[in-house]
Structure 1
Amino acid sequence: MAISATQVKELREKTGAGMIDCKKALEEANGDFQKAIELLRKKGAAVAAKRAEKSANEGLILTRVFNNGNSAVIFEINCETDFVAKSDDFVKFANFIAEVLVTNKPADIDSLLQSNLDGKNVQDELNALIGKIGEKIEISRFAFENVENGLIVDYIHHGSKLGVIIVAENVPQDKVPEFQPVLKDIAMQIAAMRPISIYREEVDKSIIDKELEIYKEVARKEGKPEQVLEKIAMGKLNKFYEENCLIEQIFVKDNTKKVGNLIEEFNKQNNTQIKLLRFKRFHLSDEKK
């Protein structure tokens, strides 16, 4: 049967698939609109299977802060090329995923893929996008943060390939407007300086043991006496903490201060007891390297 341009346009608007794909699907379905949609979805699934072994190391890191600054989510969605990552279709899908995460709060990736929002199923939308674009696309990870009587601030570095959410507790509501820019600066610090923890007490013991052993071995090879190796190693470990623990890092916007000084000064000036609690830092494809 003859397929009209109006039918093709309507299917394209409904699915987002290309004009040629829509016309072929309608022709194969003999004009049956629902069947054509199913054919397009199957095409997307087929493309997804075909691209499964490809590397998807480009994409976007996005964040959403909600619940009056008491909740946030950060997530990574990947594709094969930077060109696709910048495309309107990919960005639109990423924003759809953000809304699904905020609304449905799924427990894991599988739950996310099975989620629905406004009559749209995530897996179906993903397959449709893969079919349209022809690249491997995947939602690789996400993380939620929540805090009571606190504040969460996010930061996305230019290009959306690096994102941070930082959580602070004991933030009085009337101090939120003043403290928010301070916390934003700290989020930018995390993006730039890549700390492994906020406080030195949080550093994994295995990391500390490894560092101490390295410092001792270096000093030993330099000919230092065995009895002073421990003291030398501990001195170097303090330097390690200063470089890798957020609260002890030199503040990138003012090298006369440490990050901890920002919190101390704010608390002193405002009679508050604000404390940094947790952070998440997602850099594109970090976990794939």
Structure 2
Amino acid sequence: MAEITAASVKELRERTGAGMMDCKKALNETNGDMEAAIDWLRTKGLAAAAKKAGRTAAEGLVGVQVLGTMGSVVEVNSETDFVAKNEQFQDFVRNVAQLALATGDNIDELSRAQYPGGGTVGEVLTANVATIGENQSLRRAALLQVKDGVVVSYVHNAAAPGLGKIGVLVALESTGDKAALEALGKQLAMHIAAANPLALNGDDLDAAMIERERAIASEKAAESGKPADIVARMVDGAIAKFRKENALMSQIFVMDNKTRIEDVVAAEAKKIGAPVTLAAYARFQLGEGIEKKESDFAAEVAAAAGTNKPEPVA
């Protein structure tokens, strides 16, 4: 058997747009013959699906699953919101979230996981691209687990049970009453969906983000014309405020608009008679961080029909 090099896999990916694992398999199946590998991908429908890979997929669904003391959240993207209503797509997201309970947050491992009914997650996703007719991608996953306590999920703007635009997981460590913990976790998850904290605690905020905020605050403070020592205190105050407003534990609870989250957790711990630790959370909002391409649908239709975009009527 011919040696399959990284360079040949890279070349096949560039020529077909197919996934790395599919390209490697194609080359193995064709003994390294590049043209035959391209034909192999075409016969499997993989190259055809790859033609859609350049199109921005920023819609889709976030899916959550909870099993015992474990919870998973995944994001699967599509090009249009219409696909999110497709039962085939919804089943895929639901099954992938279930599989993530076993594989964790590694997308490569999740893509290689065996999908119910046959094939891998990656292979089924590729087949879905071909049958549904839109580019789709498995973007990210997260897994939370506690030793004793609960993991609670919440979906905002739900399209179906466990599927929606925003998915949240909350992990609470405690030996206390599980029903009370579930109720607390649900309220905290709803807060997280609305308030979008950037970290659990102020010290966990990204250092680069803090430096960026410090630079902005410094420039603003310098414009005040105040002495350097006062400017320094103004900057420190601005950063302290930023940490409080963006760290979950110091945020003000959206349910009453007055109590800090850490105090909400402490009050519940006192109520149930057992320590409660908000160990972790995960919040996925559909399409966040994806740069969406602006498109003129009328122009695209006109171009496809071989006509110019009609002039507006005066």
TM, length-normalised to structure 2: 0.72
Instruction: Note the 1:140-289 alignment, pairs <5 A.
Output: 140-159=139-158, 160-169=164-173, 171-172=174-175, 174-289=176-291
Whether the 8 Å CA contact 2:78–2:135 is kept in 1: the answer is yes
3-state SS, counterpart of residue 51 of structure 1: coil
Moved over 6 A (4+): none
C-alpha distance after superposition, 1:135-188 (max 9, x if no partner): 11111111111221232111111141111112222x11x511012111111111
C-alpha distance after superposition, 1:238-276 (max 9, x if no partner): 321221111111111101312122111112222322111
In 2, Cα distance between the equivalents of 1:263 and 1:108? 31
Where structure 2 has 5 or more consecutive residues not aligned to the other structure, the ranges are: 1-39, 159-163, 292-314
In structure 1, the partner of 2:73 is 74
In 2, Cα distance between the equivalents of 1:267 and 1:149? 14
Please report how far the alpha carbon of residue 282 of structure 1 lies from its aligned counterpart in structure 2 after TM superposition.
Answer: 0.8
In structure 2, the partner of 1:29 is none
C-alpha distance after superposition, 1:28-54 (max 9, x if no partner): xxxxxxxxxxx9994642331111111
| Bigger fraction of residues in helix | 1
In 1, Cα distance between the equivalents of 2:133 and 2:208? 44
Residues 225 and 268 (structure 1), Cα distance of their counterparts in 2 relative to 1, 3 Å cut? same
Whether the 8 Å CA contact 1:76–1:141 is kept in 2: the answer is yes
In 2, Cα distance between the equivalents of 1:107 and 1:244? 24
Q: Which amino acid aligns with 2:111?
A: L
3-state SS, counterpart of residue 286 of structure 1: coil
Where structure 1 has 5 or more consecutive residues not aligned to the other structure, the ranges are: 1-38
Please report how far the alpha carbon of residue 110 of structure 1 lies from its aligned counterpart in structure 2 after TM superposition.
Answer: 2.8
In structure 1, the partner of 2:295 is none
3-state SS, counterpart of residue 223 of structure 1: coil
Whether the 8 Å CA contact 2:149–2:181 is kept in 1: the answer is no
Whether the 8 Å CA contact 1:40–1:131 is kept in 2: the answer is no
The reply to whether residue 137 of structure 1 matches residue 141 of structure 2 is no
Output the aligned Cα RMSD: 2.2
Residues 213 and 55 (structure 1), Cα distance of their counterparts in 2 relative to 1, 3 Å cut? closer
3-state SS, counterpart of residue 157 of structure 2: coil
Whether the 8 Å CA contact 2:172–2:181 is kept in 1: the answer is no
In 1, Cα distance between the equivalents of 2:88 and 2:237? 53
In 2, Cα distance between the equivalents of 1:43 and 1:283? 33
The reply to whether residue 60 of structure 1 matches residue 61 of structure 2 is yes
Greater RCO, 1 or 2 (C-alpha within 8 Å, sep 6+): 1
TM, length-normalised to structure 1: 0.78
3-state SS, counterpart of residue 226 of structure 2: coil
Please report how far the alpha carbon of residue 64 of structure 1 lies from its aligned counterpart in structure 2 after TM superposition.
Answer: 0.6
Q: Which amino acid aligns with 2:227?
A: P
In structure 1, the partner of 2:112 is 114
In structure 1, the partner of 2:8 is none
In 2, Cα distance between the equivalents of 1:227 and 1:112? 53
Whether the 8 Å CA contact 2:168–2:192 is kept in 1: the answer is yes
Q: Which amino acid aligns with 1:54?
A: R
In 1, Cα distance between the equivalents of 2:92 and 2:252? 38
Q: How many residues align?
A: 246
